Amino acid sequence: METKGLVWFRNDLRTVDNKSLADATKSCDHVVGLYCFDPAIFDTNIHGFKKIDKYRTQFLIETVHKLRENLLAYNIPLFIYVGAPENCIPTLIEKQKITKVYSQKEWTTEEVSTENKTLNKLDLNTVKWITNYDQFLFDPTDLPFEIKKTPQVFTVFRKKLEKYATIKETSKIDPSFSQPTIENNTEIPSLKQLGFKDFTPPAHTAFPFKGGENSALNRLNDYLWETKKLSYYKKTRNGLIGIDYSSKFSAWLANGSISAKTIYWEIKKYEKQVIKNDSTYWLIFELIWRDYFKYISLKHNSDIFKIDGILNKEYSWSTNKILIDQWVNGTTGKSFVDANMIELKQTGWMSNRGRQNVASYFSKELKLDWRIGAAYFESMLIDYDVHSNYGNWMYVAGVGNDPRDRKFNVDFQAERYDPNGKHQRLWLQPSLF
């Protein structure tokens, strides 16, 4: 009997180093892909923000277009549905006579709920459900400790992994895989069809890039091999203006257009052929931070969404709508905060230095419920990743993994990182540029 596999793409929208896709092509005679634009992710949340606003949505649409195109190189069709996965998946399984379903393992509340609703509609005696942890740099099976014993301090986590763990090679599609054309008349929705108006970001955006696997790989090649900006990453990473002060990989990592392992092994190649220094290490260091927040999320589950965080630490939080709106709209009166918030509102992007400052100001200065700030970031940031977003917000708010419970002095930070006020003028007075 022929086996027919379905790859349910979630936050792994790539063909290079995609374990689900690689395993399906090695184990099945026929393979199809599926992506669902779930209407639930475009709803307005309890705080009044779109769960996913226009910037993330446009980047996602571009990514899915490129994924479909790249899959066709293997004659694998990508079926697109606008609908809840628990309705779309059973329908496609029946229509295509699927015997195996492959997907990336997710563990946060909403994603688990969606998967469980889907499983409840399937006959698991006739369909095999296969998941894998494919969003890490360090695979969970290679940890030198149990997930429930993940260290609460990043430095301890990092040192243990660097000393005792190894990083797997990337997964590859079976080169001998081939199949006849499978009819697919589904279409990718437009921004307008998903409820948004078309937009043009300002020319001075620090993130002018398109979504999709090819853009991710092009950026990797450009940042490392064409410009060799990687060699100076540690010196420039706190920058605020332009496309090259940081790698910008986070946006493609967030929806899985590129894998952490792909970036890691390219850095190791760069270290052999060009230079190995603090900057090349520091980008790997940042990939380890990304893993850390994912393991903290795995360890603490839904506690990362609770107001007391993973420390169960109580503060007096406010939900003052006037203060929240001033922060969102960049009208707090703190020019460094306002410039960063206006940049986010107009582009869907903000520097790491900016994020730390506006989050600290929101939670420590205004004493607003940090989860509201996290929800706004979720809505707006092109590179939103649930684990990093809530991990960082907990960290800054004093309910996460920072034992020092720091507070940023935004005026001092502005003097240090924007000494001439160029970034502030760029977003507060763009007509001057």
Q: What is the DSSP track for 329-351?
A: HT-SS-HHHHHHHHHHHHHS---
Domain boundary among 86, 112, 134: 134
* Both tokens assigned to 92: 């496609």
Indicate if 243 and 347 belong to the same structural domain.
Answer: no
Q: How many CB atoms lie within 10 A of CB 431?
A: 5
Indicate if 289 and 341 belong to the same structural domain.
Answer: no
Which domain CATH number covers 270?
A: 1.25.40.80
What's the pLDDT score for residue 401? 85
Indicate if 8 and 108 belong to the same structural domain.
Answer: yes
Q: What whole-number distance in Å separates Cα of residue 89 and Cα of residue 102?
A: 12
Total count of domains within the chain:
3
Domain boundary among 82, 115, 134: 134
Indicate if 120 and 19 belong to the same structural domain.
Answer: yes
Indicate if 246 and 347 belong to the same structural domain.
Answer: no
SS3 269: helix
Which domain CATH number covers 102?
A: 3.40.50.620
Helix, strand, coil tally for the chain in percent (to 5): 50, 5, 40
Q: Please report whether residue 218 resides in a domain.
A: yes
Burial grade of 310 (CB within 10 A; 0-12, 13-18, 19 or more): buried
The position carrying tokens 């092109």 is 382
Indicate if 275 and 310 belong to the same structural domain.
Answer: no
Q: What are phi and psi of 139, to 5 degrees?
A: -65, 140
Domain boundary among 273, 303, 333: 303
Q: What are phi and psi of 370, to 5 degrees?
A: -60, -25
What's the pLDDT score for residue 402? 74
Q: What whole-number distance in Å separates Cα of residue 191 and Cα of residue 198?
A: 7
Which residue ranges in the chain fall short of pLDDT 70? 403, 431-433
User: Which residue range forms the structural domain that includes residue 392?
Assistant: 306-432
Q: How many CB atoms lie within 10 A of CB 137?
A: 20
Q: Tens of pLDDT along 170-207?
A: 999 999 999 999 999 999 999 999 999 999 999 999 99
Q: Please report whether residue 405 resides in a domain.
A: yes
Q: What whole-number distance in Å separates Cα of residue 110 and Cα of residue 380?
A: 19
Q: Please report whether residue 191 resides in a domain.
A: no
**DSSP state, residue 44:** B
Q: What whole-number distance in Å separates Cα of residue 220 and Cα of residue 263?
A: 7
Strand order from edge to edge, sheet including 100-104:
78-82, 30-37, 4-8, 100-104, 128-132
SS3 130: strand
Whether residue 230 contacts residue 224, with contact meaning beta carbons closer than 8 Å, is answered with yes
Q: Tens of pLDDT along 346-355?
A: 999 999 999 9
* Both tokens assigned to 158: 């990092």
Indicate if 348 and 238 belong to the same structural domain.
Answer: no
Which domain CATH number covers 358?
A: 1.10.579.10
Q: Please report whether residue 179 resides in a domain.
A: no
Q: Please report whether residue 85 resides in a domain.
A: yes
What's the pLDDT score for residue 432? 55
Indicate if 282 and 404 belong to the same structural domain.
Answer: no
- Report which of 404, 413, 320 is spatially closest to residue 367, judged by C-alpha positions: 320
Q: Please report whether residue 175 resides in a domain.
A: no
Q: What are phi and psi of 316, to 5 degrees?
A: -95, 100
Q: What whole-number distance in Å separates Cα of residue 215 and Cα of residue 60?
A: 13
Q: Please report whether residue 342 resides in a domain.
A: yes
Q: Tens of pLDDT along 207-236?
A: 999 999 999 999 999 999 999 999 999 999
C-alpha torsion sign, points 367, 307, 294, 35: negative
Indicate if 261 and 346 belong to the same structural domain.
Answer: no
Indicate if 404 and 424 belong to the same structural domain.
Answer: yes
Indicate if 381 and 370 belong to the same structural domain.
Answer: yes
Q: What whole-number distance in Å separates Cα of residue 236 and Cα of residue 205?
A: 17
Indicate if 293 and 322 belong to the same structural domain.
Answer: no
Q: Please report whether residue 250 resides in a domain.
A: yes
Listed in sequence order, the residues at least 6 apart from 158 whose beta carbon sits closer than 8 Å to its beta carbon are 285, 288, 292
